[in-house]
Amino acid sequence: MKLALAVTVTLVIAGVTSLGADEPRETPPSWLQVGGDYRFRVEGFDGARFQAGNDDAYTLSRLRVGLTVQPARPWRIVLQAQDSRVYLKDQQPARPPFRDVLDARLAYAEFGTASKPGLSARVGRQELAFGEQRLIGTADWLNTGRTFDAARATFRRARVVADAFAGYVVSVRTDRLNKPDPGNVLFGANIVLPDLVPRSTVEPYFFGRRAPHQVTEAGAAAVLHSGTVGVRWIPKPVGNVDAGAEVAGQLGSTGTDRIRAWAGHWTVGYTLPDARYQPRIAGEYNYASGDRDRHDATRSTFDQLFPTAHDKYGLADQVGWKNVHHLRGGVDLHLSRRVLTMARYHSWWLASLQDALYDASGALVVRSANGSAGRHIGQELDVQAILSGLGKAKVSAGYAHLFPGGFLQQTTEGKAYSYPYISLNVGF
């Protein structure tokens, strides 16, 4: 790693102690709210694409400033500008998601309040996030994040919350105004039912997608039309045991190809509240189908849509929710009221030998040409620490190390991948 990495980390740590108290400021009028946040992160990697010497280290800066105007109680207008920059980066420094100089991140009008009973509606550039954001989320870990130009309606009652939406994902354009891809449409509905099953919350959903500029297995240009139907199950803890699950299936077509895919997520945890540091021990299994035959006009690779995928399948973000068996175990420790530490172990296998490895963004990483490279992708160890309670400031740091398995050793140079970071967030 570069000398700048160590120097910048030292400066960040030294500056945290001055951020614990809020500065006095004038109170704006009741119809106007002004605020924002600033995030500074230092990160790097060794062994990108599992190649020796393929490394980089850099700093990320992101400033968000917004205001909310509420001239009358049912109505409000929300505006937020974002400035994302990257420094000291050698590889692809100007590309999203690292850099997006001063752009409109949020710009929507809202009637009603989604968190209160009744009907509300929101139109304009906004965030969309449902459940654990495994399919649709804000991707906030990225320096640019994700927003949608969309219309959304929410109906809330004591025993149901129903959302319906339709819109376009906003394409980040470095040094130009961001705008949506008008052909890439996302729409759907998400329902939260807290009393459908005793002591559980059930969330059924449907997400539809249209995407142009796709290619069939035969190589012809085509348009993707798909529907993802799924359900989340979040039971209330039983004693010290907590659990959760999500299962989704996909149907549709890409030109003459048909889509048949599915994925699942299952987790269980156990907390020892009376033990020192209140440890929580958890285990998790994730599965996403892969394509068994690239020439049978049937696509079985699960499409993870537009998720917040960071640290869901490994802190290093080298594996996504596509063509994978994923086992995860970990422990959380509250070292003090302000300090939370986490340790995780991951192991992955390909669901289909004929399909590829995909990263957290859904991009193809590597494929075995004839499916003979083996199934085991590799293992990863992660450690993280979060320091909060510093007024409106929070500091986090982590390190991930991925040990390549047989598949990566056969299809790449087999170099281990490592990812360290330290981050400072300040709200104002």
pLDDT of residue 26: 63
* Size (the chain), residues: 428
CA distances from 130 to 49, 125, 163, 231, 308 (A): 31, 17, 9, 11, 10
pLDDT of residue 19: 46
∠ CA 408-318-212 to the nearest 5 degrees?
A: 105
Residue the block writes with tokens 């320096």: 143
Measured distance CA(390)–CA(338) in Å, rounded: 8
**List of residues 6+ apart from 223 with CB closer than 8 A:** 210, 211, 212, 214, 254, 255
CA atoms within 13 A on the CB side of 36: 16
CA-only gyration radius of the chain, Å = 22
Walk along the chain (428 residues) and give the pLDDT tens digit of each residue. 443 343 344 344 444 444 444 455 567 788 899 999 999 999 999 999 999 999 999 999 999 999 999 988 889 999 999 999 999 999 888 788 999 999 999 999 999 987 888 999 999 999 999 999 999 999 999 999 999 999 999 999 988 999 999 999 999 988 788 999 888 999 999 999 998 889 999 999 999 999 999 999 999 999 999 999 999 999 999 999 999 999 999 999 999 999 999 999 999 999 999 999 999 999 999 999 999 999 999 999 999 999 999 999 999 999 999 999 999 999 999 999 999 999 999 999 999 999 999 999 999 999 998 999 999 999 999 999 999 989 999 999 999 999 999 999 999 999 999 999 999 999 99
Contact 414, 402 (CB under 8 A): no
The token pair at 307 is: 């998720």
Domain 3-20+32-427, CATH among 3.30.1490.20, 2.40.160.100, 3.40.190.10, 3.90.1170.50: 2.40.160.100
pLDDT of residue 14: 41
- Domain boundaries of the chain, sorted by first residue: 3-20+32-427
Contact 58, 93 (CB under 8 A): yes
Measured distance CA(36)–CA(64) in Å, rounded: 5
The 3-state secondary structure of the chain reads: CCHHHHHHHHHHHHHHHHHCCCCCCCCCCCCEEEEEEEEEEEEEEECHHHCCCCCEEEEEEEEEEEEEECCCCCEEEEEEEEEEEEECCCCCCCCCCCCEEEEEEEEEEEECCCCCCEEEEEEEEECCCCCCCCCECCCCCCCCCCCEEEEEEEEEECCEEEEEEEEEEEECCCCCCCEEEEEEEEEEEEEEECCCCCCEEEEEEEEEEEEEEEECCCCCEEEEEEEEEEEEEEECCECCEEEEEEEEEEEEEECCEEEEEEEEEEEEEEECCCCCCCCEEEEEEEEECCCCCCCCCEECCCCCCECCCCCCCCCCCCCCCCCEEEEEEEEEEECCCCEEEEEEEEEEEECCCCCEEECCCCCEEEECCCCCCCCEEEEEEEEEEEEEEECCEEEEEEEEEEEECHHHHHHCCCCCEEEEEEEEEEEC
Q: Given phi > 0 = left and psi -120 to 50 = alpha, else beta, which region is 90?
A: alpha
pLDDT of residue 34: 95
Burial tier of 243 (Cβ tally within 10 Å: 0-12, 13-18, 19+): middle
